[in-house]
Amino acid sequence: MTPSTSSAITLNINGEKYTLPVDHRTTLLDALREHLDLTGSKKGCDLGQCGACTVLLDGRRAVSCLQLAVAAEGRAITTIEGVADGERLHPVQQAFLDLDGYQCGYCTPGQICSAIAVIEEHAAGWPSAATDDVRPEAGVPALSAEEIRERMSGNLCRCGAYVSIVQAVAQAAEVQGKEAVA
């Protein structure tokens, strides 16, 4: 029996349910942009190498260009359109604005989604390749510029706005750290 090559699926995006028919070849990125008019997530390389298409899947950052839409059914998808709290920007969005963490802006939605997750991963105590001692007894390293650069290495910026992107991520982490304590 030849299996069906398309399915009707329901995606949970930014807290809303969308039902749509998809050819199984459709990536989540194409479903967002071409089927659901959620064009905030950008297509750069379409090969998982540039990070412009970064979204959050069940709260964890992922590249939507290598995620098949049909395989994303049942997962909580957050795109750049869903990170703000109503009219109140997410602290990472605000920091990118405050510090000019972009030039042309094309990679920015992916940078912001990735940075949101970087701050959460760091707060959860995850080490990185820049972490000198990964043993749990060594504790969590501070989110230094070196740590931010390593943790953000899956997001390319062809304008080269990296200096202010690193500053924006650091500022947002500080703001969120204070909010968590307050």
Partner 1 sequence: MREFGYERAFDVSGAVALIGSDPDARFLGGGTNLVDLMKTGVERPALLVDVRELPLDRIELERDGGLRIGATVTNSDLAAHPDVRRHYPALAQAVLAGASGQLRNMATVGGNLLQRTRCGYFTDISRPCNRRSPGSGCPAVGGEHHNHAILGASEHCIATHPSDMAVALAAFDAVISYETADGPGELPIDGFYPPVGDTPHIETTLPPGALITGVTLPPAPVAARSRYRKVRERASFAFAIGSIAGALDVEDGVVREVRLALGAVASMPWRARAAERLLVGGPASAEAFAAAADAELAAAEALPDNGYKVTLMRNLIVAVLTELTEEVSR
Question: Which residues form the interface with partner 1 (CB under 8 A)?
Answer: 2-5, 7, 23-25, 27, 46-48, 51, 54, 57, 60-63, 66-68, 70-71, 114, 117-118, 121, 124-129, 131, 134-137, 149-155
Find the shortest distance in angstroms from Cβ 169 to partner 1.
12
Closest C-alpha to 115, from 133, 90, 132: 90
Contact 62, 79 (CB under 8 A): no
Element (H, E) at 179: helix 162-181
| Cβ nearer to partner 1, comparing 9 with 99 | 9
Shortest distance in whole angstroms from residue 178 CB to partner 1? 24
In the bound complex, what is the minimum distance in angstroms from residue 96's beta carbon to partner 1? 18
Instruction: Quickly list DSSP for 121-151.
Output: HHHTT---TT-S--SGGG-PPP--HHHHHHH
Q: CB of 154: closest distance to partner 1 in angstroms?
A: 3
CB 81 within 8 A of CB 16: no
Q: At its nearest, how many Å lie between partner 1 and the CB of residue 161?
A: 17
d(CA 56, CA 58): 6
Q: Are 67 and 45 in contact (CB under 8 A)?
A: no
Nearer to partner 1, 100 or 130 (CB): 130
The amino acid present at 124, given as its one-letter code, is A
| Min dist. Cβ of residue 121 to partner 1 (A) | 7
Residues 6+ apart with CB under 8 A from 135: none
Among residues 71 and 142, whose Cβ is nearest to partner 1?
Answer: 71
Please name every residue paired with 19 in a beta bridge, in sequence order, or none if there are none. Answer: 10
